[in-house]
């Protein structure tokens, strides 16, 4: 009886504590998905060591909702992205937070987007929370010179409903070549990311949304079989199939059991990636060990044409799930 009780107790803790508490809490998801070495350590440990690791991290991170931090940002507006509700800013180093770089920042008030123009010198209050970074206040220090010759720009392509998607080629997490046309007959969801993205409000957020969609769709056998998810990395050089496989399996929470039949992670050759990014209305630019980039998510119908396109990261899983309920299924092609 003592042995049986011990086994039942161990099963209870392993299933209830680890799965329901550890895997389903957003704090733990963010913690482990942003730290691949913790993923590997957790998977390699025996159960007692896993429990010790979780308890140690719980003690270290017991305050789950730290107050927002604020930093002063000085820089130049490079572009105003009203569709994505963002400003692309080339800024100086932010002491105590990050080095000088060019990157997109969301704004807490869309009125700021009408207040500035490309070339303006600004001072801003940057609000940093565990899952979001945004400009909270903004002041134009110097307006752009009206007589200055504007830098040459290219018009960003905005995918339109009904537009056919080219048959782009990618390499997935299994090292296999895949093409957009492979998913004809299914509704395909496409988003962008790179595994080393340090900001929770960017790549981890959109892949977290995809994880929520993937989980919700799994409850509807028909809809699950009629859909497919594809996350495309900007960073083909670093995000090899092995890296993508480890990263993706952590998001699906199936780890070594993940078969990637419903949600794939892929990258493309640099030359192809530029073309892919331009079509889907996103930009990216390597900046040392990081990548400055925007975001977009696209719903492609079973006929290979655009159903909907979302700029930035402000869409919700609920929006897309509602759209999927209305999208024509393979059987109605």
Domain boundaries, the chain: 13-58, 69-142, 169-332
Q: Looking at domain 69-142, which CATH architecture does it have?
A: Beta Barrel (2.40)
Residue 238's pLDDT is 94
Rounded Cα distance between 176 and 154, Å, is 33
pLDDT of 145 reads 83
pLDDT of residue 288: 76
Quick check: do 69-142 and 169-332 share a fold?
Answer: no
Q: Output the pLDDT for position 158.
A: 85
The whole-number pLDDT of residue 24 equals 42
Say what the pTM is: 0.68
pLDDT at 65: 55
Q: Report pLDDT for 104.
A: 77
- The C-alpha atoms of residue 212 and residue 247 are separated, in whole angstroms, by 16
- How, if at all, do strands 169-172 and 177-179 pair? antiparallel
Encoding tokens for residue 308? 């909907």
Measured CA to CA, the distance from residue 208 to residue 31 in angstroms comes to 13
Report the pLDDT value the prediction gives residue 240, as an integer from 0 to 100: 97
Q: In order along the chain (333 residues), what is the average pLDDT of each group of 10 residues?
A: 48 41 44 49 55 57 67 91 82 84 83 92 88 86 78 67 97 97 97 91 93 96 96 96 95 89 96 93 83 91 96 91 80 42
Phi-psi region of 26 (alpha: psi -120 to 50; beta: other; left: phi over 0): alpha
Buried b or exposed e, range 250-259, using 16+ CB within 10 angstroms: bbbbeeeebe
> Looking at residue 47, what is its pLDDT?
58
The verdict on domain 169-332 having CATH code 3.10.105.10 is no
Per-residue model confidence (pLDDT) at position 199: 80
The pLDDT assigned to 97 comes to 79
pLDDT for 326: 85
């Amino acid at each position: 009886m003592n042995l049986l009780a011990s086994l039942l107790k161990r099963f209870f803790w392993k299933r209830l504590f680890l799965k329901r508490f550890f895997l389903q809490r957003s704090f733990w998801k963010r913690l482990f998905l942003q730290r691949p070495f913790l993923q590997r350590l957790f998977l390699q440990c025996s159960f007692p060591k896993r429990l010790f690791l979780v308890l140690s991290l719980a003690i270290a991170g017991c305050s789950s909702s730290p107050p927002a931090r604020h930093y002063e940002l000085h820089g130049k507006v490079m572009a105003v992205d009203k569709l994505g509700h963002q400003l692309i800013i080339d800024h100086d180093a932010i002491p105590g937070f990050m080095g000088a770089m060019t990157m997109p920042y969301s704004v807490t008030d869309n009125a700021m987007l009408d207040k500035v123009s490309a070339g303006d010198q600004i001072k801003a209050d940057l609000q940093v929370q565990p899952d979001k970074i945004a400009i909270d206040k903004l002041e134009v220090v110097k307006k752009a010179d009206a007589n200055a010759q504007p830098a040459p720009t290219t018009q960003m392509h905005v995918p339109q409903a009904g537009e056919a998607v080219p048959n782009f080629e990618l390499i997935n997490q299994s090292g296999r070549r895949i093409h957009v046309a492979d998913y004809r007959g299914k509704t395909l969801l496409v988003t962008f990311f790179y595994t080393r993205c340090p900001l929770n409000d960017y790549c981890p957020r959109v892949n977290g949304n995809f994880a929520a969609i993937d989980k919700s769709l799994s409850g509807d056998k028909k809809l699950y079989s009629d859909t497919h998810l594809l996350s495309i990395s900007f960073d083909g050089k670093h995000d090899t199939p092995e890296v993508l496989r480890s990263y993706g399996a952590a998001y699906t929470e199936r780890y070594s059991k993940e078969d990637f039949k419903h949600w794939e992670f892929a990258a493309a050759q640099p030359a192809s990636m530029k073309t892919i990014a331009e079509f889907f209305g996103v930009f990216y630019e390597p900046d040392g060990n990081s990548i400055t980039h925007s975001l977009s998510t696209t719903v492609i119908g079973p006929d290979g044409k655009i159903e909907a396109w979302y700029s930035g990261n402000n869409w919700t899983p609920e929006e897309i799930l509602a759209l999927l309920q209305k999208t024509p299924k393979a059987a109605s092609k």
